[in-house]
């Protein structure tokens, strides 16, 4: 197709429409639509995205026929404007603008005033009877063309302009005289000649046009565009269209100008025209901040007739497109021209308000409103954000593990973080990576930064659960604990220095940066009512404390899908008891330690039952390897070495005795840590394997949670315990642990004289478990897919260590997404599908959910919906996002079925029947 000379590569504005966005790009499709509606749009044509892809695919050469079609289309513009391209007496000037099918504001290139040269500038001056205007347009064109098309650094042009503006009375660009502009133009040409190694600024307008079109095509693969697409998950193969449009001039005088207007406020969503403009200016002046723009309302005083016309058109455009519009316009000698309209980018708060109010105004349906808000926008409402108007230096960028923004004083160890917090200071905890030992410092901190780790590392998971901003995997950071600072590039940040963590973008900023605290309000509440009326999937939360559970419930969670009981052992006192249990050398000593832990676990479980009154609570028994609760082997060795050095310097017997005692204790601990060390602990002695070897641990946890449930029932709380056995790989493991849990649970329930329902299930997080789900389902009343570990074991990846190369894989398109962030549907997803199908074959009424980090990710949630899962579970602060995504999955499914029906002549093709969760009501005491 790309080599077919008869292929249509170019469309006049009057030949396109809004439905051709994929071919003409958003800008081209919309200007075509405005042209068809009779709005004042300068004539032009669009070179298609297909032409861009052909150009990029075939050695940066225009596809055959494209250039001849472009030159033929220029004749249409010449006819409509009664000007001629390249004519020295009556020159046609054009703009050349990019326009992808998905809006990428500011990411690609634009050239204005193309067609000017040493001859046409004189013709323009005579025709307009304004030599200063013509020369000003020419100097703008040379600098823009030189930078965008020829690659000259813009600072070189800026230095010349600044030097000559300093010679004027007012010091502004509008104060430049024709004589100074002539000198600037010649200086600009010399810059290009020197920079391009003797290549002069092109004087042939057609060569200018050819080069500009190539530059716009090339900008599709520019660094800005690539990064933007990566961050916003935009495909790389869409390409950009090129729009060539007759120039209209906002710099003809004080009855001319240029501006941008939004049909509603893009920050708040208020139904009030929002925008800025400049008189006697061209478009780049507004963007570049060369002069301070004025609010759009002031246009009513300066150009009242234009203002009335603009407001009327703005209202028509919003009514036509049924969405908030972002409009670029130019006024040429009191005549209004529209250059483009597009769906306006907006904040999370604005997105929600606009969607709700447009339903109330009868413009869109509730279903459409739900599709108008995306997960990222909703996320903004739930966390503080860096004030977009604040300028700050970026120290480094890591992985945005937990959204939100916070400023604080740097602490390099958890104890220091606690001390600072207790003294009333906000704290940012900076670590190489975190472990359970760091939890007290993490809990005391406003935000967390780690040099290592991925999106599902300890720091990431804990921070998301707490709603704490977190950036992980900031590998440029080098931490020097001894000297008390960390370094990144030229930045050196010491203990006690202020930094800001932007967990939404991954940026670490210098100093204390202003943040905005979004507020949930009536618009959010209204939208979520509509969301809940649409979705089928239940949404639960991952929570490990009563506080977390309460937060989850306030965000609309319909239960707890994962309570990680190991998190209940964080904190100095609890960790000490846990270590006592681990270090016990016989059953009696281990049981004594477990007896001390039981009331602590029981209290935590009670708090969860109380917070979740009437809703299900899934409690996962102890999962991580035991060594995670013990000190780090290398750090312990270093401590012992330090104590021995101190012993050599000791001068008194009491001091020697004390040091010897400490050394002996540490060496005993080191020996036990060494015994428990594993080469690959994530595939070692953990999960149900702990309960198989130490059944007393399973008994203690079951006893604690059932006693808590019984006491909650006695107090009138409705309980729905779901006891989950982790890391099962064969059915015999689950059969063994189920029997132990059931015997203990029934014994406790009987001792209280109560009867209420509880269920026993397992976490499917190993490939073998998914493949043998039919056998495992014989012993399970529910499955919860732990997709964090399932991803790890399917790919053979370490969640933490893979962060070192994942970015390379994604940047080089080996993977589209980090599989720990977005569920790998082709691999891991197929294991989930097999597990669901085989599990339901064996037990049709089995309840099935997902509790990995993927439970809060929109694409993964849509996949879970398609498989007929009963629920997803995610961190409390992602519950609203999961609710929204579940509703959007239903709407996407309906749309797909409608399109299939249309393709089959109106016959609806039935899809798989979803399995809807049926909860049994527990009996009160």
Count CB-CB contacts under 10 A for residue 668: 11
Instruction: Please say whether the beta carbons of 471 and 502 come within 8 A.
Output: yes
Beta bridge partners of 259: 277, 329
Query: E strands of 689-812, at which residues?
Result: 720-725, 759-764, 782-785
Residue 437 tokens read as 């030992």
Alpha-carbon gap, residue 550 to 529, rounded angstroms: 20
Question: Of residues 688, 851, 864, 874, which has the active-site annotation?
Answer: 851
Q: Is position 320 annotated as part of the catalytic site?
A: no
Q: Which long-range contacts (CB under 8 A, 24 or more apart) does 232-237 make?
A: 232/102, 232/104, 233/817, 234/100, 234/102, 234/104, 236/813, 237/53
Long-range contacts of 584-591 (CB under 8 A, 24+ apart): 587/696, 590/694, 590/696, 591/696
- Give yes or no for a contact between 816 and 852, defined as CB atoms under 8 angstroms apart: no
Entry field: residues in the chain: 925
Exposed e or buried b for every residue in 820-854, given b needs 16+ CB within 10 A? Answer: bbbbbbeebbebbbbbbebbbeebeebbbbbbbbb
The CB density around residue 810, as the number of other CB atoms within 10 Å, is 15
Residue 68 backbone phi and psi in degrees, to 5: -65, -40
Which structure tokens are listed for 500?
A: 């800001």
Say what the alpha-carbon torsion angle 140, 145, 147, 150 is, to the nearest 10 degrees: -150
Q: Which residues is 670 bridged to in the sheet?
A: none
| Selection from 803, 696, 911, 785 nearest residue 457 by Cα | 803
- CA 568, CA 547: separation in Å to the nearest integer? 13
* Residue 805 main-chain phi, psi, to 5 deg: -125, -10
Q: Tokens at residue 644, please?
A: 């021995």
Q: Which two tokens stand for residue 750?
A: 């009987």
Cα distance between residue 330 and residue 326, in whole Å: 14
Lateral strand order in the sheet of 405-411: 394-397, 507-510, 498-502, 405-411, 427-431, 447-450, 470-472, 399-402
Q: Is 688 within 8 Å of 728 (Cβ atoms)? A: yes
Tokens of 103: 């809006």
Q: Where are the alpha helices (DSSP H) in 503-586?
A: 522-534, 546-554, 572-583
Can you point out the beta strands (E) in 438-537? Answer: 447-450, 470-472, 478-480, 485-488, 491-494, 498-502, 507-510, 515-516
458 is catalytic: yes
> In this structure, are residues 700 and 597 in contact, taking their beta carbons and an 8 Å threshold?
yes
Instruction: Give the residue from 793, 742, 784, 788 showing the smallest Cα distance to 766.
Output: 793
Nearest-angstrom CA–CA distance, 906 and 185: 65
Identify the burial level of 181 via C-beta atoms within 10 angstroms of its C-beta, where 0-12 means exposed, 13-18 middle and 19 or more buried.
buried
CA–CA distance, 711 with 632 (Å, rounded to integer) = 39
- Cα distance between residue 877 and residue 737, in whole Å: 33
The token duo for 916 is 């809807």
CA distance 125 to 131: 4
Cα–Cα separations (whole angstroms), residue 289 to 152, 187, 282: 21, 23, 12
Pick the catalytic residue from 458, 627, 736, 865: 458
Integer Rg of the chain from CA: 33
Residues involved in catalysis: 458, 851
């Amino acid at each position: 197709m790309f080599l077919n000379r008869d292929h249509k590569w170019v469309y006049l504005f009057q030949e396109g429409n809004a439905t051709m966005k994929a071919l003409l790009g958003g800008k081209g499709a919309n200007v075509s639509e405005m042209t068809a509606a009779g709005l004042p749009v300068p004539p032009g044509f669009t070179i298609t995205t297909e032409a861009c892809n052909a150009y990029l695919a075939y050695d940066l050469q225009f596809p055959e026929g494209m250039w001849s079609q472009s030159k033929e289309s220029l004749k249409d513009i010449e006819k409509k404007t009664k000007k001629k391209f390249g004519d020295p007496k009556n020159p046609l000037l054009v703009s050349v603008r990019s326009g992808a099918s998905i809006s990428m504001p500011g990411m690609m290139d634009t050239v204005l005033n193309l067609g000017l040269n040493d001859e046409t500038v004189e013709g323009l001056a005579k025709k307009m009877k304004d030599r200063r205007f013509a020369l000003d347009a020419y100097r703008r064109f040379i600098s823009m063309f030189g930078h965008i098309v020829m690659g000259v650094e813009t600072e070189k042009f800026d230095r010349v302009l600044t030097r000559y503006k300093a010679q004027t009375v007012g010091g502004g660009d509008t104060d430049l005289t024709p004589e100074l502009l002539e000198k600037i133009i010649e200086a600009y040409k010399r810059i290009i000649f020197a920079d391009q190694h003797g290549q002069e600024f092109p004087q042939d307008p057609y060569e200018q046009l050819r080069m500009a079109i190539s530059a716009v095509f090339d900008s599709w693969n520019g660094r800005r565009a690539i990064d933007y697409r990566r961050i916003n998950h935009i495909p790389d193969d869409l390409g950009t269209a090129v729009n060539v449009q007759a120039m209209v001039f906002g710099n003809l005088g004080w009855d001319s100008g240029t501006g941008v207007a939004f049909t509603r406020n893009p920050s708040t969503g208020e139904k009030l025209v929002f925008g800025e403009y400049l008189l006697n200016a061209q478009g780049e002046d507004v963007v570049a901040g060369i002069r301070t723009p004025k609010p759009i309302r002031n246009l009513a005083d300066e150009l009242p007739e234009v203002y009335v016309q603009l407001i009327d058109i703005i209202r028509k455009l919003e009514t036509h497109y049924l969405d908030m519009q972002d409009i670029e316009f130019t006024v040429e000698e009191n005549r209004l021209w529209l250059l483009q309209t597009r769906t306006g980018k907006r904040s999370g708060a604005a997105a929600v308000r606009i969607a709700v109010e447009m339903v109330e105004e009868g413009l869109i349906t509730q279903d459409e409103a739900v599709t108008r808000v995306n997960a990222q926008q909703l996320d903004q409402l739930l966390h503080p954000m860096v004030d977009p108007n604040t300028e700050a230096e970026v120290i480094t960028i890591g992985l945005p593990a937990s959204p939100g923004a916070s400023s604080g004083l740097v602490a390099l160890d958890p104890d220091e973080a606690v001390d600072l917090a207790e003294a009333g200071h906000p704290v940012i905890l900076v670590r190489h990576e975190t472990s359970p030992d760091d939890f007290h410092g993490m809990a005391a901190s406003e935000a967390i930064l780690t040099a290592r780790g991925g999106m599902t590392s300890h720091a990431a998971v804990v921070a998301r659960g707490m709603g704490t901003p977190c950036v992980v995997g900031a590998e440029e950071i080098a931490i020097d604990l001894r000297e008390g600072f960390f370094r990144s590039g030229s930045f050196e940040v010491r203990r006690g220095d202020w930094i800001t963590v932007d967990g939404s973008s991954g940026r670490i900023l210098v100093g204390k940066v202003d943040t905005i605290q979004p507020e949930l309000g009536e618009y959010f509440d209204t939208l979520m009512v509509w969301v809940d009326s649409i979705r089928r999937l239940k949404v639960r939360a991952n929570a490990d404390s009563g506080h977390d559970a309460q937060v989850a419930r306030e965000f609309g969670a319909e239960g707890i899908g994962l309570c990680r009981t190991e998190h209940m052992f964080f904190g100095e006192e609890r960790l000490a008891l846990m270590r006592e249990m681990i270090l016990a050398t016989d059953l009696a000593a281990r049981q004594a330690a477990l007896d001390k832990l039981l009331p602590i676990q029981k209290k935590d479980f009670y708090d969860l039952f109380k917070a979740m009154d009437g809703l299900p609570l899934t409690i996962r028994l102890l999962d991580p390897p035991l060594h995670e609760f013990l000190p780090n082997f290398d750090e312990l060795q270093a401590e012992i070495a330090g104590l021995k050095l101190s012993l050599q310097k000791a001068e008194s017997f009491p001091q020697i005795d004390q040091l010897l005692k400490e050394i002996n204790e540490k060496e005993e601990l080191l020996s036990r840590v060494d015994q428990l060390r594993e080469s690959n602990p994530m595939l070692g002695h953990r999960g149900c394997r702990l309960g198989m070897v130490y059944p007393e641990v399973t008994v203690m946890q079951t006893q604690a949670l059932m006693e808590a449930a019984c006491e909650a029932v006695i107090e009138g709380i409705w309980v729905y315990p779901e006891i989950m056995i982790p890391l099962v790989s064969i059915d015999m493991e689950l059969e063994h642990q189920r029997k132990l849990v059931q015997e203990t649970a029934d014994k406790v329930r009987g001792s209280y004289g109560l009867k209420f329902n509880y269920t026993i299930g397992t976490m499917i997080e190993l490939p073998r478990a998914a493949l043998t789900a039919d056998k495992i389902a014989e012993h399970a009343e529910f499955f919860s897919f732990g997709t964090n570990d399932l991803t790890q074991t399917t790919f053979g990846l370490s969640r933490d260590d893979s962060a070192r190369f994942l970015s390379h894989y994604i940047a080089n398109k080996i993977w589209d997404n980090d599989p720990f962030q977005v569920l790998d549907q082709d691999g891991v997803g197929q294991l989930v599908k097999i597990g669901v199908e085989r599990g339901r074959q064996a037990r049709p009424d089995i309840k099935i959910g997902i509790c990995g980090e993927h439970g809060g990710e929109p694409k993964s949630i849509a996949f879970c919906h398609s498989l007929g899962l009963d629920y997803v579970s995610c961190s409390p602060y992602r519950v609203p996002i999961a609710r929204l995504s579940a509703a959007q999955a239903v709407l996407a499914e309906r749309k797909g079925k409608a399109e299939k029906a249309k393709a089959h002549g109106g016959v609806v093709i039935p899809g798989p029947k979803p399995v809807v969760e049926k909860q049994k009501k527990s009996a009160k005491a």
